[in-house]
């Protein structure tokens, strides 16, 4: 991570939102449509928290119309954060829950046209192990048929022996990505999180990620 203030990571959600967009843009070799789904904890909107509520999360579609590539990554982050906040104010997370309930098993027009897939971002949070556990890991599996039009990036961190380590995982079905391409996209997002700074121009960030993609494509690590 390079985006730190007084040694602490700052605005990590915004940083992830921007780097998911930049990673996919570099992979697609174009920067036009900007958007990503991100999870939101709905417990904060309950009058009283209760174990009776087992589905405690929904999602928000973060989108911005366009932004010139000569703008900074920080400006991209700010626009995405503002859009997220505005959609939360409108209560779009509840509309998303309703849509998922009513249309989960229905084939969408997007699936019929086969125009691509959507990316979602899930930031679980931090596991502070203290002296109670030796380690922690998060993983999940979904039926490939159910996520054939969706890819996702999952992140969490573990505090162990006073060190906070951030982990990232890219999830996809083989419908749209080969194993090699999936590794490339996931690696681009993680590389961006490590090297891209908010003061960097979007064009420079994309160029850097594209160079890294070319390196990955030719590396022994990805030769299957």
Judge whether 32 and 116 are in contact, CB under 8 Å: no
Where would I find the H helices in 91-218? 92-103, 109-113, 179-195, 202-218
11: CB partners within 8 A, 6+ apart: 3, 77, 81
Give the pTM: 0.84
Region at 150 (left for phi over 0; alpha for psi -120 to 50; beta for the rest) = beta
The residue written with tokens 């979904």 in the block is 142
Judge whether 73 and 202 are in contact, CB under 8 Å: yes
Question: pLDDT tens digits, the chain, 224 residues: what are they?
Answer: 444 544 566 788 999 999 999 999 999 999 987 889 898 888 788 777 666 666 678 889 999 888 999 999 999 999 999 999 999 999 998 888 887 777 654 555 555 555 667 788 888 888 998 888 889 888 877 776 666 777 889 899 899 888 888 888 888 877 777 888 888 999 999 999 989 999 999 999 999 999 999 999 888 555 55
Cα–chain-centroid distance for residue 97? 19
């Amino acid at each position: 991570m390079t985006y730190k203030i007084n040694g602490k990571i700052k605005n990590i959600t915004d940083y992830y939102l921007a780097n998911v967009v930049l990673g996919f843009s570099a992979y697609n070799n174009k920067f036009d449509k900007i958007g990503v789904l991100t999870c939101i904890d709905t417990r904060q909107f309950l009058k009283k928290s209760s174990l009776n509520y087992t589905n405690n999360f929904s999602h928000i579609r973060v989108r911005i119309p366009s932004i010139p590539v000569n703008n900074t990554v920080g400006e991209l982050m700010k626009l995405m954060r503002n859009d997220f906040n505005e959609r939360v104010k409108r209560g779009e997370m509840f509309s998303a829950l309703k849509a998922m309930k009513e249309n989960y098993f229905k084939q969408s027009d997007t699936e019929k046209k086969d125009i691509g897939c959507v990316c979602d971002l899930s930031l679980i949070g931090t596991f502070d192990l203290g002296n109670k556990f030796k380690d922690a890991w998060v993983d999940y599996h979904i039926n490939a048929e159910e996520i054939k039009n969706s890819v996702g990036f999952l992140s969490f961190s573990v505090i162990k022996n006073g060190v906070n380590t951030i982990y990232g995982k890219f999830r996809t079905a083989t419908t749209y990505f080969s194993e090699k391409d999936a590794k490339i996209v996931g690696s681009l997002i993680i590389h961006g999180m490590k090297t891209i700074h908010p003061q960097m121009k979007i064009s420079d960030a994309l160029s850097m990620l594209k160079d890294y993609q070319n390196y990955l494509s030719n590396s022994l690590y990805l030769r299957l």
